[in-house]
Amino acid sequence: MLQRLALDRLSRKSYYGVGAVLLLLTSCRAQPGLIGPEALTRLDRQTVSGWVTGFRPTQPTRYDLKWTYITQRGTARGRASVRLVPPDSLRFDYRGPFGRSGAVVIIGDAVLWSEPEEDVAQLLPIAPLFWAALGIPREPAEGSEVYGLETDSERVWQYVVGGDTLSYVATRNAPHTLRSEMRRLGDVVGFVDMQFGNDGMMPVEAVMSFPETATRFILNVENVETVTSFDRETWKRP
């Protein structure tokens, strides 16, 4: 069973490139806002890693989705699937209007390949939000400063590296939700509001909002299936 894929480092692209596969058109105004308190204390990486680990599936998992993309010009809809192998490998396939389709494979913080490649080049900064939309917050990158707090009702944590700030707020009681926000040099790149099912583990719906392009991307999970493994052909470029 494939557990983790080896990357050809010469062909790697930034992890932040995967989000481009999700956004197919342009422009609908979403309002940014802080998702958690500003007064966070410094945390050690082990504490946050323990929080994050609890969100990851423990077996290879397939998600079947409907997606809706909303802009000021109109709305587009389609279907998609995600095949995920823990801890950090996934393939995202989408189908859209007028026969448009594509796929991307992500390993950890890098895009292994994408088809069509030009989609990835359009929106480089949003991959962490795509992971969050699936209910899977990322581990802090090397060199990150980690902050957070824990209360009876929620956990809040934040990574700061360079000019980027990635924040999460997870409720500890029903209804279980995960909110995420990415900022670059203080400006909001995007944010996600996602909801888990009654078990508090499987994602049900996520709304991804991007203020700069004034767009929203909605994922609705229709089916979740765990499997023993995926065929190795899954990870090869078409």
Pairing relation of β-strands 187-196 and 177-184?
antiparallel
pLDDT given at position 119: 60
- Is the whole-model pTM more than 0.85? no
pLDDT value of residue 34: 63
Distance in angstroms (rounded) separating the CA atoms of residues 172 and 158:
17
pLDDT of residue 121: 42
SS (H, E, C) the chain: CCCCCCCCHHHCEEHHHHHHHCCCCCCCCCCCCCCCCCCCEECCHHHHHHHHHCCCCCCCEEEEEEEEEEECCEEEEEEEEEEEECCCEEEEEEECHHHCEEEEEEECCEEEEEECHHHHHHCCCCHHHHHHHCCCCCCCCCCCEEEEEECCCEEEEEEEECCEEEEEEEECCCCCEEEEEEEECCEEEEEEEEEECCCCCCEEEEEEEECCCCEEEEEEEEEEEECCCCCHHHHCCC
Q: What was the pLDDT predicted at 141?
A: 86
What pLDDT shows up at residue 99? 82
pLDDT less than 50: residues of the chain: 1-32, 121-125
**What are the chain's domains?**
12-228 (2.50.20)
